[in-house]
Amino acid sequence: MCNAICPELSEESVSLAELQKARKKRKAELRNTINQRKSLVEQLLDKPAPRVILKKNTLPCVQITKKPKLKLYENE
C-alpha cells in the first residue's frame, strides 16, 4: 500500500476487508451495467427488420457516363 501525501489522511489506513468490499461493489455495478446493455442490444436485434419490396424496373437501364476528373482543353 502507499502512504497518503495529505497530512490529515496520513494516519489513516485501509483494511484488506474494505478494499475487497469496494472491489466487490464496483464489480457488481459494472456487471449490472453490462447486463442492462446486453438486454438493450437483444431487444434491438429481436425487432424484425423492415421488409423492402423491390419491384422490377420496367424502364430500360441507362448507363451513366462519368465525366473525367481531369479537365481537358480544346487544343489538347
- Which comes out higher in pLDDT, residue 4 or 74? 74
Give residue for cell 423492402.
52
Tell me, rounded to whole angstroms, the distance of Cα 25 from its chain centroid.
Answer: 25
The answer to whether residue 22 scores a pLDDT higher than 90 is yes
pTM of the complete model: 0.47
Confidence of residue 76 (pLDDT cuts 50, 70, 90): low
What are the tens digits of pLDDT across the range 48-75?
Answer: 767 777 666 666 666 777 777 777 777 7
Work out the number of other CB atoms within 10 angstroms of the CB of residue 53.
4
- Write phi, then psi, for 14 (nearest 5 degrees): -110, 130
Domain ranges of the chain: 13-47
